[in-house]
Amino acid sequence: MSPRRKERRVVAVAGAAALVAVGLNLAFSAVAAHRRRKQQELPGFNAQVNLSAAEIKRLADRIIAKSKETYDAVAAVPLDKVNFANAIAPLAELDAQQFPLVQACVLPRMVSPSEDICRASADAEKRLDSHFLLCRQREDVYRVVKAFMERGERIGPEATRFVQCLVREFERNGAKLTQAKKEEMEKLKSLIDDLNLKYIQNMSDFTKFLLLSEEELAGMPPEFLKDLEETDGKRKVLLTGYYVTPILEHCKVGSTRKQIAVAYGQKGGKQNVAILEKLVQIRHRLARLLGYSNYSDFAIEPRMPMTSRKVLEFLEEMSEQLSDLANRELTVLKELKMKEEGNAQFGMEDLLYYMKRGEQHKLDLDIGEIKRYFPVKLVISGMLKMFQDLFALRFEEIKDVEVWHDTVRLFSVWDASSSDLLGYFFLDMFSREGKYDHTCVVALQNGYMCSNGSRKVPVAVLLSQCPKEFDGNSALLRFPEVVRIFHEFSHVVHHISNRATFSRFSSLRLEGDFAEIPSLLLENWCYESISLKMMSGFYQDITKSVTTEACQSLKRRRDMFAGLKLKQEILLCLVDQIIHTSENVDIDDLVKDLHPKVMLGIPLLEGTSPASCFPRIAVGYDAVCYSYIWSEVFAADLFTTKFKDDLLNQHAGLRFRNKVLAPGGSKDPLEIITDYLGREPSLQPFIQSRTRNAL
């Protein structure tokens, strides 16, 4: 029997035994069943929508009770009696069956117009997060799972990976620590949360403004000036990104740009630098408590590079490889400044302004005009067609099914050749009050193999805030919004394509390094004529798609000054990585030393500290700021090697779907991509693509 078939048999048989042993009947009782009957008739679809506030509370209670029951049952297994059926299968089944129930509690917070339902959903999310954190810290369950792993039972590669993930998750959450060390860990986490909040609060409380005359704001559009409050004959400029970025891009007065850049660069101030230094010290203490030499190694261990050393090497090589390109770009910008301002020193305050000038000089592109070619409905229909054609899929809209708003659409997804059902997705695309205000994807159900051998299919929701129709005319999208929606729908297709046995390996539960690679790869189609024409049409005559020349200009605009833009990102990523690998680093001194080295001699603006107003380094992306650049590099290699010369090659798309998207997290991501490329990924395609289109 092949390892794969054996693994499926182990999961199916052991899963069935576990169901009998611990009574894992998580079927959701028929609350308001008449409202949901049509959804329950959809094959492989268990997700719930439109729960009331009371139903959300009861469901959360039931999830917590069943979870506790299952963990208690696993914890009770004698260590000399552990096997897959009593130690692992119950946890796998619990994860698979509870995931859509948890999501049924969480989704309403993002989409419901009812304040009561949103509150109930937010409360349920907090309770469930707290409960699951406690579950991941249970030493008694960890001992059982660890005992099974140490037995070395042959269960197949995906099941083995699942067990390894369980053990790692327990250990990273402190399950093997003594009680005293667990208490210390909780104190450290609490301190980290408090400092995170203070860092963000300092930035939010920053209310400084500058009073500038219209002469000092020369070059700013009249509508921008009208938006500024007038005080004593001057304009009041609040130091927020909403006002600062346009001034740095458009203001002709160099001294004004510098004044604005310096003032904005002091946001958070010395207080935030001190907070960040304290945060880093506490993170190192937490990492050492859990057995790691530094916090960066802790943060990166479950991700693609695995070690901080690999990340530092990657960032340093990227910076070096980009230097020639960035130097050429900087020369262009300095020449533009010389023509406009004379022999003045080029500073950081000049970057955005002269990049914008360079774009205007090199490109014949009217962004306002481009918008007229992207009506919302045409973008969506063209996008769906493109994904169907490329990946050999068939989307069918399902009518008359219960949804949470009358603008929401539901589609089933089928394999075009075999007619196998692959999954479902909801499109909730239009703005409304109370709805989550960003474009994103939410998984409602993960695909997995059931204990009886049948398969539950993935279900996803794409949320966006597209403008509504006006007077029967489809609203228009700005080009960055087109790219954003396309990027997020790529996550939908990744999720739907998943064929892993375990729910744990769904594509939307992957670490960020790998999860973003397919979507960043597919963003390339937003800059190619053949696909852009499928998604575009003049709003007054949709038979007239965006021109080939405009498509080429959009691509050049993306890549113009890419070297300098990436150098700025790399600088912050290096700061993030160095402070999280080393003890007692003076952050201000580090930035002052690194800045001219990375930024080709451009000095740091005096009196500013980028670390004081860079929230990613403090909250959410600590020690992993590198991730987006890493994913871009992998995506560029995949695109250049496999798709660039034949963008709608269905054979290539199907192979990508089966080789890269289908495994989800069931295999090592670096192994997946290396196997697909036939070699290790390289930096060169990324550098070459940006260099070729840059100037």
Rounded to the nearest 10 degrees, the angle between the axes of helix 3-22 and helix 89-106 is: 70
The DSSP 8-state label assigned to residue 473 in this structure reads B
- Please report, as a single letter, which amino acid is at residue 77: V
Q: CA–CA separation, 615 vs 224, rounded Å?
A: 27
List, edge to edge, every strand of the sheet that includes 440-445.
393-398, 409-415, 421-430, 459-466, 440-445
- The token pair that represents 427 in the structure block: 């499109």
Burial of 5: CB neighbours in 10 Å, binned 0-12, 13-18, 19+: exposed
488 is a catalytic site residue: yes
Neighbours of 652 (CB within 10 A): 16
Q: CA–CA separation, 367 vs 360, rounded Å?
A: 11
Pairing of strands 448-449, 409-415: unpaired
Q: What 3-state DSSP class applies to 522?
A: helix
The shares of helix, strand and coil residues in the chain, as percent rounded to the nearest 5, are: 60, 10, 30
Q: CA–CA separation, 199 vs 615, rounded Å?
A: 8
Neighbours of 178 (CB within 10 A): 10
Residues 6+ away with beta carbon under 8 Å from 222: none
Q: H/E element holding 236?
A: strand 234-238
CA-nearest of 484, 483, 505 to 494 is 505
CA-nearest of 506, 566, 536 to 317 is 566
What single string gives the DSSP state of each residue in 136-190? HT-HHHHHHHHHHHHHT----HHHHHHHHHHHHHHHHTTTTS-HHHHHHHHHHHH
470: phi then psi, degrees, rounded to nearest 5: -135, 120
**Cβ atoms of residues 455 and 449 within 8 Å:** yes
288: phi then psi, degrees, rounded to nearest 5: -65, -35
Q: H/E element holding 280?
A: helix 269-289
The DSSP 8-state label assigned to residue 538 in this structure reads B
What single string gives the DSSP state of each residue in 180-201? HHHHHHHHHHHHHHHHHHHHHH
**Cβ atoms of residues 396 and 423 within 8 Å:** no
Burial of 676: CB neighbours in 10 Å, binned 0-12, 13-18, 19+: middle
Per DSSP (E only), the strands in 369-476 are 393-398, 409-415, 421-430, 440-445, 448-449, 455-456, 459-466
Q: What 3-state DSSP class applies to 165?
A: helix
Q: Name the catalytic one among 488, 523, 528, 569.
A: 488
> Which residues face 413 on adjacent strands?
395, 423
Pairing of strands 421-430, 459-466: parallel
> Which residues face 455 on adjacent strands?
449
CA-nearest of 394, 402, 428, 397 to 40 is 402
**Cβ atoms of residues 278 and 270 within 8 Å:** no
- Please report, as a single letter, which amino acid is at residue 161: R
Active-site positions read 488
